[in-house]
Amino acid sequence: MRFGEIPGLSKEKKSLAMAMENDQVAHAQMFLGPSGSANLAMALAYASLLNCENPVDGDACGTCSSCIKNSKFIHPDVHFVFPVSKVGNKDAVSNSYISEWRAFLSDHPYGNVFDWSVTFGGEDKQLNISKGESRQIIRALSLKAFEGKYKIMMIWMPEYMHPSAANAILKILEEPPERTVFLLVAQDKEQIITTILSRTQVFNIPIFEDQAVVNFLKDEMDVASSRAMEIAHMASGNMREAIRMANENEDSSNALFYNWMRYCYAFKLKELMEWTDRFAELKKSAQKNLLVYGLSIMRESLLATSGGNELMRSFGEGKDFVAKFHKTMDIQAMEELMKILGEAHYHLERNANAKILFLDMSLQMAGVFQKTKKRLQ
């Protein structure tokens, strides 16, 4: 992975490149960014740059021996630690799943823990970074660098680190061997053990700008401009969601969502039951698309209701729907609807029964609409 392969984020890339050029590489850095951001991709690109033999314009060259090994995630001086669980006869340590990890990095550079758990077959397991992992970290970093300028220990999702594992690496994290760099990649600052967080330099990775998403979809996935713009709007800076939606051959989320809202608003129980049956027959990816699109429409409606029209990004039929829809709602209703949609998306990611989930959600939303009608009379 190189900076040039990651869309946008020019400011962040320049900052990291300058740190290396000025020999100001922090020994423990945390790449902090929300789900679907480039936190993992940026850490991988930075690791490539640190050991590149011939950097070019603030980026790894991509052609030297070090870069080629980093592109395959097999550089002997770059070590990975990530949350795992015991599957079959494999021990619950990262080295047992290194082949699956390399496949995950290749296929899902913007992926999340759910994507990773599916990759190695642990989606029904409790993942963590155990104390046994800390011994592997200390052992790996006790060796001299084989061929790179730096030994790099990349810890993905330290939120999953067991307290005993965290305590065991505090000393080496604070005072690592010479030319050793810790790169931690995290999503939720509040879930990280304080003693780990306090020993790192936090480097914030923002969500992607819409234009960066559009450019990526057009250039890398050959998505038409109009569709790329629609996806970028729905994804709200989440590249993982954007890629997933772009991989759908056909998307009828818009019409499905509009009809669903009309049935909920009118409390047409028969139509809602039929709609739920239809929804349950969709592929899981299409079900997720519907919820993501619904969340984007609700955000736009909330902006319209609260007078934030200049921040709105919807266009076409989505803009027309929002213009009418927000007039029937107030801010309280919008927040309640967004919460319902967000929780449903969370449960759908974790394999909830789609038919039961969407019937329950439909009834909840219908209830919100009825209460709002009375409140606004």
Question: Residue 197 sits in a domain of what CATH number?
Answer: 3.40.50.300
Alpha helices, DSSP H, located in 208-283 = 210-221, 225-235, 239-246, 253-266, 269-281
What tokens does 371 get? 């209460």
Q: How many Cα atoms within 13 Å fall on the side-chain side of residue 238?
A: 18
Into how many domains does the chain fold? 3
CATH label of the domain that carries residue 265? 1.20.120
User: Do both 238 and 252 map to the same domain?
Assistant: no
Cα 78 to Cα 58: distance, rounded to the nearest angstrom: 20
Same domain membership, residue 259 and residue 227: no
* Together in a domain, 360 and 254: yes
| CB atoms inside a 10 Å sphere around CB 327 | 11
Distance from C-alpha of 62 to C-alpha of 41, rounded to nearest angstrom: 15
CA pair distance 30, 202, nearest whole angstrom:
5
Q: Are 34 and 180 in contact (CB under 8 A)?
A: no
Half-sphere exposure of 134 (CA within 13 A, CB side): 19
pLDDT, position 323: 80
Q: pLDDT tens per residue, the chain (377 residues)?
A: 999 999 999 999 999 999 999 999 999 999 999 999 999 999 999 999 999 999 999 999 999 999 999 999 999 999 999 999 888 888 888 999 999 999 999 999 999 998 999 899 877 778 999 999 999 999 999 888 888 799 999 999 999 999 999 999 999 999 999 999 999 999 999 999 999 999 999 999 999 999 999 999 999 999 988 889 888 987 889 999 899 888 875 455 677 888 898 999 999 888 889 888 888 888 787 788 788 888 888 888 888 877 665 555 555 566 778 888 888 888 898 899 999 999 999 898 887 898 999 999 999 999 999 999 888 87
Note whether 333 and 190 are same-domain residues: no
The DSSP symbol for 92 reads S
Q: Which domain holds residue 156?
A: 3-206
The answer on 219 and 199 residing in a single domain is: no
Are residues 94 and 18 located together in one domain of the fold? yes
- Give yes or no: residues 268 and 235 share one domain: no
Examine the domain organization and report whether 77 and 65 are in the same domain: yes
Residues 44 and 109 occupy one common structural domain: yes
Q: Are residues 240 and 266 in the same domain?
A: no
**Final residue before a domain boundary, out of 246, 267, 297:** 246
CA count, 13 A, side-chain hemisphere, 20? 24
Task: Tell me, yes or no, whether 67 and 119 share the same domain.
Answer: yes
Question: Global pTM?
Answer: 0.77
Domain shared by 196 and 331, yes or no = no
